[in-house]
Amino acid sequence: MTLERTLSIIKPDGISRNLIGAVIGHFERAGLRVVAARMRRLGRPEAERFYAVHHSRPFFASLVDYMTSGPVLVQVLEGEDAVRKNRELMGATDPARAAPGTIRREWGESIERNLVHGSDSLETAREEIHFFFGAIDVCDRTDP
């Protein structure tokens, strides 16, 4: 098993409902560490670029509206098997289908307002981390 990094976003509903600590607690209890974090209000062009892969989907405009409706917390999580672990902790995209105990099942309101985003592969994680952070923003938290 290798140490991986993945991108996590706490979406506007997670911020407005004051769930930052609850969500990060989930990650930390599972052994993931936050190695970079920044609160951002995404602009429309930025949100459109981030979700470009979905641009032809019927929900794209609404997704961009939602992701630009308030601040988000973008984070880099590090840990063994971090990409898969983060997705397991988030649960399925649709909170109604997410397993009990997952972040989306606990707090997600709908398939769109599903509280968190997480990279879906190691390659996507590299691209998504690079989208928001430079090397200087990511801290080395390996024990001395």
Instruction: Examine the residue annotation and report whether 117 is marked as an active-site residue of this protein.
Output: yes
3 vs 16 by CB, closer to ligand CMP: 16
Q: Measured from the CB of residue 117, what is the shortest distance to ligand CMP in angstroms?
A: 3
Q: Smaller CB distance to ligand CMP: residue 63 or 73?
A: 63
Tokens describing residue 46: 């930025």
Q: How far is the CB of 24 from ligand CMP (least distance, A)?
A: 17
Count CB-CB contacts under 10 A for residue 76.
24
Q: How far apart are CA 85 and CA 82, in angstroms?
A: 5
* Minimum separation from the CB atom of position 93 to ligand CMP (A): 5
Residue whose C-alpha is closest to residue 4's, from 75, 74, 73, 84: 84
Residues facing 9 on adjacent strands: 74, 117
* Cβ-based nearer residue to ligand CMP, 79 or 118: 118
CB neighbours of 100 closer than 8 A, spacing ≥ 6? Answer: none
List of residues contacting ligand CMP (CB under 6 A): 54, 59, 63, 93, 111-112, 114, 117
* From 54, 55, 117, 130, active-site residue: 117
| Active-site annotation, residues | 117
